[in-house]
Amino acid sequence: MSNATDTPTVGGKGNYDESYARFLKAYQDFKGECPKGVTLKLQKTGARYNLLLQFKQPPTGKRLPKTANLECTPQGVIDGVKKAKLVSEALGTITSASEFWDWYDKTILGKNQIEDNLITYRDIFKQIEDEYFAGYNRNTGRPRSRDIASDLVSYETTKEVFFKLFPNWDEYPSWESFKAMLYIPLQNGEQLVGSKTFKERYYILKAIAEKSPNKDHLLKKLEPIDPKQTQFKKKQRIGIDAFKDWWYSAKQEAYTIKNPRCQSSRHNWLWVTGMAVMYGLRPTEIAAAVNLTKPFVTDDGVIIKALSDPDNQDNYLVLGDYVYFTDAEGRKVSIKTGGRIVAPIPSPEMFKLLELKRPLLPEYSPRKGSKTRTIIGGFDTSFTEKIASMKCPVTQKYAFRRLYNLLGEKYGLPIELRARLMGHSTIVNESKYKTKGIDATLEVLDGCSKLPIPLDVAIERLTALGVDIDSSEAKLFLGVIYQID
């Protein structure tokens, strides 16, 4: 082909470069690498040659050539093989004809390529971050803010920690990088599929896919994967008698400690355990109580007495939205389910035993230079460390909330009220806090035997005991107890 007049005209974005023979050799050498069902086709139209892809086209299923934005050059052949593989993969995953051709226009023909190519992982991560901080706390409805330490940590642990698993944020979203991130082995060596981490990775990938140019393709690839969590940490429980025995023993031992500071610390954290059981609180929530030693006045002027007030028989506890300590930058630390008013288990005897009328809230001072995430969980961490040092039978702080829920059921508090006081829904209460098993059932049944009985049954039993129920005194008692006019 030394004579330029003998050189054929070729289609595509541009002509071959130096040698038509070199292009033909590349075509013969590489076309065999195309996947089954999708091939390269060199088609002549008049004096013009075009390099095309040929495959069964949806929805007709007819095998026809289709332009693919390929140059008649060796590089064009290499690009053609890559595009053939993409088309083969798409034909196997995209079931809608219109969806396939939308994908073909964007991915193979490069329509809107400039706009699409600007959307990298970095861009998507920034969108998700901005939307997160423009949103509201799902538990409290409070607007999120970068000025609140808890919101920063929540974003870090639910979003950013997964973004960091992508090695190159300037890449465009692809199934290959999705799959690589999803199946990174767990550091502790435990099984990945079925874990909480696997489920969290899956749903963050769905959120990323929703903002990707190739959204439909990525979502189709994710669809067959089951993210259901099947591995759970065993939930610890502690019975009321076991708790009382441990608490009393630890209290007695505290008095034997000679170091006044260490003794005081032990008494303080034992008080926290009592509050966790009687009010069903997370340890950090106790650090948000605002009426421990002084009354609280609501916006409507209602006065809620201080817990320490000896005349306070209700012993309601008011939780603020934030705890008393901040992070290193002075940002506030919020509690999980927001400020609210809570009531203790209706057991005056146990309330007195645990000495809760004498508030002993521990003083938590974060170490200088501590990271925000460490400070946020610092109070809970200190609680876990202290009860372990006191040889508590359980190590999970939520075991005390489960005991509260069990006691609430035992003393007749309806599930709706228990859930409300604990700051969650009845569904969450049933799934996460209801203690199951024979021992738990026996404790509840034992409590039920001590609950008030119907009026008719009460009259029958009093009569059997020889009480004159027609006497003014008996009528007075029954009237007060059963609210009879």
Handedness of CA 46, 50, 54, 59 (dihedral sign): negative
Q: Write the DSSP symbol of residue 432.
A: I
pLDDT for 435:
57
Lowest mean pLDDT segment, chosen from 117-121, 125-129, 267-271, 273-277: 117-121
Kindly tell me if the per-residue pLDDT of 200 is higher than 90: yes
pLDDT for 52:
93
More confident call, 182 vs 336? 182
For the chain, give every domain's residue range. 4-111, 116-222, 240-435
pLDDT for 458:
73
The DSSP bridge partners found for residue 296 are 304
Instruction: Find how far residue 58's CA is from the centre of its chain.
Output: 41
Neighbours of 288 (CB within 10 A): 23
Digit-coded pLDDT (tens) for 297-331: 988 899 999 999 999 999 999 999 999 999 888 99
Could you tell me the pTM of the whole model?
0.65
In this structure, are strands 39-45 and 340-342 parallel, antiparallel, or unpaired?
unpaired
CA atoms within 13 A on the CB side of 479: 8
More confident call, 434 vs 22? 22
Look over the chain and give the mean of its residue pLDDT values, rounded to a whole number.
85
pLDDT for 14:
37
In 161-280 the beta strands, taken as DSSP E runs, fall at: none
Instruction: Label residue 459 by pLDDT band (50, 70, 90).
Output: confident
More confident call, 382 vs 347? 382
Structural tokens at position 112: 């809107």
Instruction: Label residue 450 by pLDDT band (50, 70, 90).
Output: low
pLDDT for 9:
41
More confident call, 442 vs 458? 458
pLDDT for 3:
39
What residue type is 331 in one-letter code? Answer: R
CATH 1.10.443 matches 240-435: yes
Give 318's contacts (C-beta < 8 A, 6+ positions apart). Answer: 289, 290, 291, 296, 304, 339, 341
Place of tokens 């509690």: 335
Kindly tell me if the per-residue pLDDT of 188 is higher than 60: yes
Lowest mean pLDDT segment, chosen from 69-83, 114-128, 186-200: 114-128
